[in-house]
Structures are given as C-alpha cells and as structure tokens.
Amino acid sequence: DIQMTQSPSSLSASVGDRVTISCRASQGIRNDLGWFQQKPGKAPKRLIYAASSLQSGVPSRFSGSGSGTEFTLTISSLQPEDFATYYCLQHNSSPYTFGQGTKLEI
C-alpha cells in the first residue's frame, strides 16, 4: 500500500499569512493526488485535483504543486473561512490513501 505522510499535523497562522502543507508518498504516484478541505460537521470538499489543477469555484489563493512523491498545498493569503482541516489523497493505486490531515488554526 502507498503511505501518504502529511505535515504538519497542525498549524497556527493568522489572516493574511502564507501557509504550505506537504504530502509525501511512499512511492511515485505521478500526479494522481487531490487536496481536500473539511470544516467541522461538513463533508470534505475538493480544492485541487491532478496535484495542481484548481477545482472550479475554488479561490485562486489555493494552489497545488508537485509530482511523483512530493506535493504541496499553498494558501497564499489566509482568509477567515480557510481555517479548517486539510487532507491529501492519492488515487494512483488501490487502496487509495489519505494523509493524516492538517488542522489549520488561528
């Protein structure tokens, strides 16, 4: 199985900050990676697909990069509504696997 190591597990930041979240795959997954945002009591929402493509309707302050084994999600200027938990997901091979999550807090 492919392991996804996500870091950090939690992050304190302020409105306007630039933040980066990382995911490392235990083996190469090409660009078969998505990033998801989850707010308390809500279903996850996809932000990024194919490692770097922005989901329609998602603000441009979100961006993704990487290929192979190293991936990052960047939020260029944090807004109050961005405080949530973020997950990466690899869908290169079964079983699909999520990162452990990053809780972004004020």
Choose between 75 and 88: whose C-beta lies nearer to another protein. 88
In angstroms, what CA-CA distances link 16 with 10, 30, 64, 82, 99? Answer: 18, 32, 18, 11, 25
Residues numbered 38-97 forming contacts with another protein, rule: CB under 8 A:
38, 43-46, 49, 55, 87, 89, 91, 94-97
b/e per residue, 61-73, with b = 16+ CB within 10 A? ebbbebeebebbb
Q: Binders of another protein: how many residues, by CB under 8 A?
A: 22
Which residues would be at the binding site for another protein (CB under 8 A)? 1, 32, 34, 36, 38, 43-46, 49, 55, 87, 89, 91, 94-101
